[in-house]
Amino acid sequence: SNQSVQLKEGMSYTMKIQFKRSPGINVPAGSINLSNPKKACTNDDKQKLSKLVFADGNLKSTGASNNYVWATNREYGYYYQWKKDYNGNNIDPCARLNPTTYGNDWRLPTRNEFERLTRCTDVKTVSNGVNGVWFLNATTGIFLPLGGWRNNSPGTAAENWPGTYGDYFTDESINANQCYRLDLAPSGGSAIVNSTTKEMAYTIRCVKGPKL
């Protein structure tokens, strides 16, 4: 407020200050303490990943308007095809997040960002309302639910393996039919980035910050 208040001598005053956390999760490099037993999280990974802000949960909206929301990290969220909104329009679905609620510049993670993330996890299944895997830090980090997937159509529920496997699209195309994804199979100790077909429908975790 621009209103000025004149304080009187000899009187006591109470000032209430409220801090509101901005949407998303940012983990400082010094707090990143999870490492993949098969490929260690490096100091460079920690420095780079600390520049990013990840959504608190997966996308959970239908339609084709810029009013999308994200779920809590105790939900799987909804399922989207590669670089399409729920209605099938060719757009990064993260760009549909409501800017009034979340701000601007949300996007799909890059292949490199997810590859770095695969090194900074212990690849263990944890039940947090739903099964998932912690990244960066096991209490203040990124929790990615194992939402399974759908075959060839968007939807609000998985068709295959929810609670066991998780798949998340990157923004990188390979060719007309294929792209890269984050592929989580913690029962086998696996967290990798590999190829998939663009027709599949996966859960989406949005990110913002300089592309790595």
The model's pLDDT over 105-114, given as tens digits with 9 standing for 90+, comes to 999 999 999 9
pLDDT the model gives residue 158: 99
Asked whether residue 16 is domain-assigned, the answer is no
Higher pLDDT, 181 or 10: 181
Residue-wise pLDDT for 140-184, tens only, equals 999 999 999 999 999 999 999 999 999 999 999 999 999 999 999
**How many domains does one find in the chain?**
1
- The answer for residues whose C-beta is within 8 angstroms of residue 13's C-beta and 6 or more apart is 7
Q: Is the pLDDT of residue 212 over 60?
A: yes
Contact 52, 209 (CB under 8 A): yes
Asked whether residue 7 is domain-assigned, the answer is no
Asked whether residue 52 is domain-assigned, the answer is yes
Asked whether residue 48 is domain-assigned, the answer is yes
Asked whether residue 147 is domain-assigned, the answer is yes
Confidence of residue 1 (pLDDT cuts 50, 70, 90): very low
Asked whether residue 40 is domain-assigned, the answer is yes
Asked whether residue 87 is domain-assigned, the answer is yes
Angle at Cα 178 formed by Cα 112 and Cα 83, nearest 5°?
70
pLDDT the model gives residue 7: 80
Give the Cα separation of 148 and 58 in Å (integer): 13
Asked whether residue 146 is domain-assigned, the answer is yes
Contact 76, 162 (CB under 8 A): yes
Instruction: Tell me which residue of 107, 92, 100 sits closest to 54, measured CA to CA.
Output: 107
Beta strands in the chain, from DSSP E residues, in sequence order: 53-54, 121-127, 131-135, 142-145, 166-173, 178-185, 190-197, 207-208
- The answer for residues whose C-beta is within 8 angstroms of residue 135's C-beta and 6 or more apart is 34, 117, 120, 121, 141, 142, 143, 144
Q: Is the pLDDT of residue 13 over 80?
A: no
By residue range, what is the domain housing residue 68?
Answer: 29-208
Contact 199, 159 (CB under 8 A): no
Supply φ then ψ for residue 144, to 5 degrees: -105, 110
| Stated pTM of the model | 0.90
Residue-wise pLDDT for 39-96, tens only, equals 999 999 999 999 999 999 999 999 999 999 999 999 999 999 999 999 999 999 999 9
